[in-house]
Amino acid sequence: MTISKNSPLILALTIVVSVQIAQAERRDKTPIIEEEQQIFEDISYLASDAMEGRDTGSEQLMEVSEFLRNRLKKSGFTFPQAEEDGYQEFSIAGRPELGEQNKLQIPGIENGDLEIDKDFRVCAFGGNGAFTAPVVFCGYGIDDAEHNFDEFAGIDLKGKVALIMRRVPQQKKNGSLYVNKQGIIDVNRAGLRSKLENAKERGAIAVLFVNDPLSTIKAGDDLFAFGYGGSAKAEEIPVFQITVSAANRLLQAGIGQELGAIEAQIDQDMKPLSQELQGVKLTGQADMDFSNTQTGNVIAVMEPRDADIRETIIIGAHYDHVGWGTYGSLAPGTNAIHNGADDNASGSVALLTLAERLAKYSGQLDRRLVFIWFAAEERGLLGSKHYVQAPLYPLQDTIAMINLDMVGRMADEKLTVFGVGSSHIWKPWLDEIEKRTELNFFREEKSLGPSDHAPFFEKRIPILHLFSGLHEDYHRPTDDVDEINIQGIRRTVNVLETLVLNLANASERPDYIENKAHIQVGRHAGGRPSVGITPALNAEVKGLQILNVIENSPAHEAGLQAGDVIVFAEDTQISSRADFWKLIDSSSAGDKISVRLQRDGEIVETTIKLDKPR
């Protein structure tokens, strides 16, 4: 009997073959042991300290790209003619790096030369510039005429430097003007960027932030990490943080008082004490490099049996991480290598393992396979966005995209599969595969974003995203190889292999199900107003738990943090992610959404001003 690719038996046969392979491996453990050893060695290399966190644009990420390409060449893969040796290069805006000319000086006073990293730090959310100018103390930098607490009233900031305390007055007094009865601070008034904007609007040419006394009592007079608060464009005004000691030198020279006494007076009277520091000028310079950087996707191709076949399947994983954690770390103030063993050395190595397994099928399948290791995912999906903008094969011929992002922490044999609702084929296929594998699938109709499948879904391409689960080491220096479930990765590759072979030989291409709510992040959600959060998948949490907050997004401006759980929005109880997105879908850009959060056992209230879709 001859069975064509149009036969409904293809799926069953593919699964049977996979099962036979798995059974053979169980009889002879050698292939399993060897493959798992290779997976371990590969992740150990990608997530080693020598790779310094694989930051986009770094020499180490380029070294990883060469490692991947060399391994692929050994397996006989070809590289697209349009790209040199499988490297799709593109340019991105570089993260600011500190230059050599950063300084702050208070001329004419003892100890007036401030020392970087001891007395002050440059803030990356400011810009470059040099100045010599008078200094104006602006209290907490609050503009609240409605409650007679406008700390900018009656002062002239034009062409001057603003000295501003962090947070808000009367922090110890529950039920005060900016602290509610539960002791929750008004995040909008306390936010650094709102204070910065208030000063800029009044003509300030630079801003100095200083820890308020209560923050100093709680955490010491620590300085922000350079990347704290995100980054800005070079045309922003210079922003610095100075220590309380440095602020006291300025205040003593100008008004004969220290910060603690001034703060106590403001707390007592709730009246602004803003004033120019008479006879005091500050000389300063912020010097950061905002130049562009080059990076690239690694792309390997397995051609089909017939040169005339146009349909293509993309399997991808990002191979970058956050370097030393200057940006993107969830361990603020930590200066340490973030190895990213799970995020996403695990996905990168799983993809490499799959490619090496499938190499034997070169020229035999009914569709082209394209394997892509994306760069700059941690910068905003820039690698996958670049491919979608400059595809090597027409997107209309791309029938599916499967993404591997964080597949290294499998627990209890559970594998989460996002995007099942993007095509009608996924559910029956996964149901059949699950019967014949050691794993249990958690199927999610929608897709957790942002990750590299999102730009493809926006182009009406069915997607899947394989994910082993969130953990406390996410975007922290502790995401190391010793916590990786190597067997779980191999089993994930088994599932992926079956899915890819099914796609490669199926009689028809997958259909695409239109659903604007699939990508659950505002910046990837079609017409949905932008919020700027990545929701965590945590069925045990009642509410929407935040996995990540996107830099410079509405959520970031409102003070939301990773780990927060949104429990109320606009007086509506939020019991699930769906509850929250339903509310956002009914809103428009510019709307202000009041939210109540659980954070470290406390309740925090803030307001998110929604942005236009991104």
Query: Among 64-73, 148-157, 588-597, where is mean pLDDT lowest?
Result: 588-597
Query: Could you tell me if residue 362 is inside a domain?
Result: yes
Query: Could you tell me if residue 514 is inside a domain?
Result: no
Query: Could you tell me if residue 446 is inside a domain?
Result: no
Give yes or no for a contact between 565 and 193, defined as CB atoms under 8 angstroms apart: no
Q: Note whether 48 and 111 are same-domain residues.
A: no
DSSP string, 56-87: TTSHHHHHHHHHHHHHHHHTT-B--TTSBTTE
Give yes or no for a contact between 257 and 251, defined as CB atoms under 8 angstroms apart: yes
Q: Note whether 155 and 68 are same-domain residues.
A: no
Which band of pLDDT confidence, cut at 50, 70 and 90, is reported for residue 216? low
| Of 246, 241, 248, 249, the residue nearest 109 (C-alpha) | 249
Q: Note whether 111 and 219 are same-domain residues.
A: yes
Q: Are strands 602-609 and 592-599 parallel, antiparallel or unpaired?
A: antiparallel
In terms of Cβ atoms closer than 10 Å to its own Cβ (0-12, 13-18, 19+), residue 600 is exposed
Residue 604 pairs in a beta bridge with 597
| Of 399, 403, 466, the residue nearest 430 (C-alpha) | 466
**E strand or H helix at 426:** helix 426-435
CA–CA dist 264, 245 (Å, integer): 17
State residue 526 phi and psi, 5-degree precision.
Answer: 60, -115
CB count within 10 Å of CB 60 equals 20
Q: Note whether 87 and 19 are same-domain residues.
A: yes
> Can you tell me whether residue 425 is helix, strand or coil?
coil
Give 3-state DSSP helix, strand, coil % of the chain, rounded to 5: 30, 25, 45
Give yes or no for a contact between 136 and 277, defined as CB atoms under 8 angstroms apart: yes
DSSP string, 82-114: TSBTTEEEEEEEPPPEE-S--EEE-TTSTT-EE
Half-sphere exposure of 234 (CA within 13 A, CB side): 14
Q: Which residues contact 122 (CB under 8 A, 6 or more apart)?
A: 98, 102, 116, 226, 238, 239, 240, 286, 287, 288
Query: The domain spanning residue 71 has which CATH number?
Result: 3.40.630.10
Give the pLDDT of residue 17: 43
- The structure's pTM equals 0.66
Q: Which residues contact 441 (CB under 8 A, 6 or more apart)?
A: 414, 415, 416, 417, 430, 433, 434
Query: Could you tell me if residue 270 is inside a domain?
Result: yes
Of 225, 259, 289, which closes a domain? 289
Give the pLDDT of residue 524: 34
CB count within 10 Å of CB 438 equals 12
Please state the rounded mean pLDDT for residues 515-526: 42
Which band of pLDDT confidence, cut at 50, 70 and 90, is reported for residue 585? confident
Give the pLDDT of residue 455: 93
Number of domains in the chain: 3
Tell how far CA 266 is from the center of its chain.
38
Interval 438-470: pLDDT, tens: 899 999 887 756 789 999 999 999 999 999 988
Q: Note whether 477 and 329 are same-domain residues.
A: yes
Q: Note whether 106 and 57 are same-domain residues.
A: no
The boundaries of the domain holding residue 407 are: 9-94+291-414+432-439+452-461+469-505
Please state the rounded mean pLDDT for residues 562-591: 85
Which band of pLDDT confidence, cut at 50, 70 and 90, is reported for residue 229? low
Is a pLDDT exceeding 60 seen at residue 57? yes
CA distances from 291 to 88, 117, 294 (A): 20, 23, 10
Query: Could you tell me if residue 614 is inside a domain?
Result: no
Q: Note whether 238 and 369 are same-domain residues.
A: no
Which band of pLDDT confidence, cut at 50, 70 and 90, is reported for residue 527? low
Query: Among 86-90, 330-334, 443-447, where is mean pLDDT lowest?
Result: 330-334
More confidently predicted of 81 and 261? 261
Give the pLDDT of residue 575: 81
CA–CA dist 282, 139 (Å, integer): 18
Q: Which residues contact 505 (CB under 8 A, 6 or more apart)?
A: 5, 10, 14, 365, 366, 367
Query: Could you tell me if residue 447 is inside a domain?
Result: no
Q: Are strands 368-374 and 312-318 parallel, antiparallel or unpaired?
A: parallel
Is a pLDDT exceeding 90 seen at residue 6? no
CA–CA dist 464, 457 (Å, integer): 9
Q: Note whether 267 and 344 are same-domain residues.
A: no
Q: Note whether 313 and 379 are same-domain residues.
A: yes
CB count within 10 Å of CB 431 equals 11
State residue 312 phi and psi, 5-degree precision.
Answer: -130, 145
Is a pLDDT exceeding 70 seen at residue 518? no
The token duo for 264 is: 């106590």
Rg, C-alpha atoms of the chain: 27
Query: The domain spanning residue 200 has which CATH number?
Result: 3.50.30.30
Q: Note whether 589 and 479 are same-domain residues.
A: no
